[in-house]
């Protein structure tokens, strides 16, 4: 069985709100955990309920998103999905970190301004 990861998108970033996402990145992994297939899906309209239905229909096992209503978070967790919410940054960075086992809920992946000032 392959594992599927869904990242909510806003342009090339993780969507800041689950309920307002109008695009998603769906990545299927092979048995060794390598990327086997990638699809960007444009949703008919933004809806947290419809997005939950899509997630279950596509047999997704991991959801990476920004802010999320508690009821949808608990629903997906009840369905035994891994939900990494509160993630901010580029979607590819979030996906790469997740595949490396380094992504946690609340991760801010954008460079921090104070970190840039330290290197000046």
- Averaged pLDDT for residues 11-28: 96
pTM here?
0.91
What is the mean pLDDT of the segment spanning 60-87? Answer: 97
The pLDDT value recorded for residue 1 is 55
Instruction: Label residue 112 by pLDDT band (50, 70, 90).
Output: confident
Q: Is the pLDDT of residue 72 over 60?
A: yes
Q: Is 120 exposed, middle or buried, given 0-12, 13-18 or 19+ CB atoms closer than 10 A?
A: exposed
The CATH H-level (homologous superfamily) assignment of domain 3-118 is Dinitrogenase iron-molybdenum cofactor biosynthesis domain (3.30.420.130)
Longest C-alpha distance within the chain, in Å? Answer: 49
pLDDT recorded at residue 114: 67
């Amino acid at each position: 069985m392959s594992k599927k990861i869904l990242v909510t998108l806003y342009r090339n970033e993780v969507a800041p709100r689950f309920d307002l996402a109008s695009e998603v990145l769906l990545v299927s992994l092979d048995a060794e955990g390598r990327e086997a297939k990638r699809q960007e899906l444009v949703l008919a309209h933004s809806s947290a309920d419809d997005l939950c239905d899509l997630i279950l229909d596509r047999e997704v096992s991991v959801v990476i998103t920004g802010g999320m209503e508690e009821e949808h978070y608990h629903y997906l967790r009840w369905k035994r999905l891994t939900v990494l919410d509160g993630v901010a940054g580029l979607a590819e960075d979030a996906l790469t970190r997740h595949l490396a086992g380094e992504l946690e809920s609340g991760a801010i992946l954008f460079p921090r301004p104070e970190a840039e000032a330290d290197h000046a």
